[in-house]
Structure 1
Amino acid sequence: MLGEKTIYVLSDSVGETAELVVKAGLSQFNGVDYQISRIPYVEDKETIDEALQMAKDTSGIISFTLVDPKLRKYIKEQAEKLNIEAVDIMGPTMEAMERAFQKPPRLEAGLVHKLDEDYFKRVEAIEFAVKYDDGRDPRGIARADIILIGVSRTSKTPLSQYLALKRIKVANVPIVPEVDPPEELFEVDPKKCIGLSIKPEKLNEIRKERLKALGLKDEATYANMDRIHQELDYFNQIVDKIGCNVIDVSNKAVEETASIILHMLHRK
């Protein structure tokens, strides 16, 4: 029996349309073990190459909705070279319509979502926050509306998600003394970066509670005051180097911090 198959869904927008088509097809195959990995906002050949390599490594399938004919042609050619099954969901339909209407398509990604622009902007922002959470992909720094930086347990992730509900694309980057921040952080407009500072005592309290929740002893290095001071000193060095705004989140709820950030954005 075949093992689990991964279907990589590539889109130059959110990717909902492609995933729905894939799921409709999968519904016709009983007992198939699969997972869907959606890759939204595909705008370049490098992202396509990464997806193709993952499909090659896992014997996966590629399914895509790309309106750019050059990118569609590229993915077909490369998939054929690598002997990967690649399904063009959008292309044949658009080509047939072009022949029937005798009119070229607009070739703009995500037009279907403009039926409810506000809702889909929110969806895009949420997916963006997930994709570029915790510094996992530094490419998000240049694409983000806001970049949050801070040490562990300064509410970077919940704050990113909360702002995403306001249709703001947020990337967040953890600051750790042993890890150099991505170079991209020092190349963007400092006004896009916001440092989240916190008082050492408050961070110590939060981290101790976190360790207890994980069933660990609260005297671990993670909650050690010397370690906390070391991390916060390094954080201060980084924000000084960037020259960005800093918000003290010690006694603020996520909603309160978000309100301050929104005010900054509107003022800008």
Structure 2
Amino acid sequence: MTTKQRIILHLVSGGIGQTLDALARASVPHFPENEFEVRHWNLVRTRSQLRRVMTGIAAERGPVLSSLTDQDLQMDLEEGCGRVGVQLLDVMNSTLALLERVTGTQASGHAGGQYVMDENYFRRIDAMHYVIEHDDGQQTRELRDADVILVGVSRASKTPTCFYLANRGIKAANVPLVPDTPLPSELFEARVPVIGLTIDPDSLVEIRRTRMTSMIAAKPGGNPALHETSYVDPEEVRAELLWARRLCARHGWPVVDVTRRSIEETSAAILEILEHPGPTNLPG
């Protein structure tokens, strides 16, 4: 058995480090024969803070990704990395330099500028409140205020997808699809995009069984017979998903298959539909 090479990856940011963290998460899986351990150095805005960072880098040497926008701190980081013999990639300044050439203007150099409490920030907060208040078919009379409504059977990732969309400033409500249960009339009166979420039957059965197992374990005297209900019966689940698919087709609602998608990928597919409306079925 081959031992994976252990690499310490340092992420140095003047903000909360979200940009570098996303870049690292996207890049690391491309090197499966290596084991990466990420060290986060966030909110680095003074020389004393940078000295602490350099002490950590010197103690655990490894490549450094930087998104510092303060030029003096960036230069100090470059000098420090040179002294301890580690490689440094300046992610932020390379991007800013490109945009400066395109726009013909100079970047402000303000750290964490994407997190200011501006109109977009308050839109995200408003969207988050909306998701909380309209999860799982709550307050259907206000569906008309949504930017999008997600529908799907139980455990099809409706709620986490709505929360992710809210972080993008999208007011997302969700309504469960339950056979033999009438849908709220407000769903059809809202006149906002409705998108269905579906999933592979076997995957759904596994998700539901795991959920029921945790519920039974958490409840003293839980009934193990619940595992045999139609909620997790493979044939019943297949019939439920087929019914939901046909319902969406009947109303012209596009459907996204979440089977092999992360919440981020599902949300990206939904945003694509919102930007380019039209009957669409997106497989996993």
With the shorter chain as reference, the TM-score category is 0.5 to 0.7
* Aligned-pair CA distance for 1:266: 2.6
Provide structure 1 residue ranges, at least 5 long, that are not aligned to the other structure.
Answer: 1-113
* Aligned-pair CA distance for 1:227: 2.2
Distance (Å, rounded) in 2 between the aligned partners of 1:241 and 1:182: 16
2:61 aligned partner: none
Distance (Å, rounded) in 2 between the aligned partners of 1:235 and 1:118: 35
CA contact (8 A) 1:158 1:254 kept: yes
Percent identity over the alignment is 40
2:207 aligned partner: 206
1:127 aligned partner: 129
Distance (Å, rounded) in 1 between the aligned partners of 2:157 and 2:119: 28
2:166 aligned partner: 164
1:154 aligned partner: 156
Asked whether 1:241 is paired with 2:254, we answer: no
Asked whether 1:263 is paired with 2:259, we answer: no
Q: CA 1:236–1:115 in 2, change beyond 3 Å: closer, same or farther?
A: closer
CA contact (8 A) 1:177 1:230 kept: no
Say what the alpha-carbon RMSD is for the aligned residues: 1.9
What amino acid sits opposite 2:187 in the alignment? L
What amino acid sits opposite 2:183 in the alignment? P
Q: Deviations over 1:168-196 (max 9, x none)?
A: 0001000001311112222344x701000
Asked whether 1:136 is paired with 2:145, we answer: no
TM-score by length of 1: 0.54
1:49 aligned partner: none
Distance (Å, rounded) in 1 between the aligned partners of 2:263 and 2:245: 21
Please list every run of at least 4 consecutive aligned residues from structure 1 whose deviation after the TM superposition is greater than 6 angstroms: none
Q: CA 1:115–1:206 in 2, change beyond 3 Å: closer, same or farther?
A: closer
SS at match of 2:228: coil
Aligned 1:179-194 pairs, distance under 5 A: 179-189=181-191, 192-194=193-195
SS at match of 1:201: helix
Distance (Å, rounded) in 1 between the aligned partners of 2:118 and 2:233: 49
SS at match of 1:244: coil
Distance (Å, rounded) in 1 between the aligned partners of 2:253 and 2:274: 13
Distance (Å, rounded) in 1 between the aligned partners of 2:202 and 2:258: 12
CA contact (8 A) 1:194 1:247 kept: yes
Q: Deviations over 1:201-250 (max 9, x none)?
A: 11111111111111263333321113212321321232122211100111
What amino acid sits opposite 1:233 in the alignment? L
CA contact (8 A) 1:133 1:172 kept: yes
Q: CA 1:170–1:195 in 2, change beyond 3 Å: closer, same or farther?
A: same
Which of structures 1 and 2 has the bigger CA Rg?
2
CA contact (8 A) 1:176 1:234 kept: no
Name the count of aligned residue pairs. Answer: 154
Q: Deviations over 1:130-152 (max 9, x none)?
A: 11110012123211110000000
2:120 aligned partner: 118
CA contact (8 A) 1:197 1:246 kept: yes
Aligned 1:66-145 pairs, distance under 5 A: 116-145=118-147
Asked whether 1:254 is paired with 2:256, we answer: no
Asked whether 1:224 is paired with 2:226, we answer: no
Asked whether 1:196 is paired with 2:197, we answer: yes
Q: Deviations over 1:95-153 (max 9, x none)?
A: xxxxxxxxxxxxxxxxxxx9621111111000001111100121232111100000000
Q: CA 1:115–1:208 in 2, change beyond 3 Å: closer, same or farther?
A: closer
Distance (Å, rounded) in 2 between the aligned partners of 1:125 and 1:233: 31
What amino acid sits opposite 2:151 in the alignment? I
Distance (Å, rounded) in 2 between the aligned partners of 1:164 and 1:122: 6
SS at match of 2:173: strand
Distance (Å, rounded) in 1 between the aligned partners of 2:139 and 2:239: 25
Q: Deviations over 1:35-92 (max 9, x none)?
A: xxxxxxxxxxxxxxxxxxxxxxxxxxxxxxxxxxxxxxxxxxxxxxxxxxxxxxxxxx
Provide structure 2 residue ranges, at least 5 long, that are not aligned to the other structure.
Answer: 1-115, 217-222, 278-284
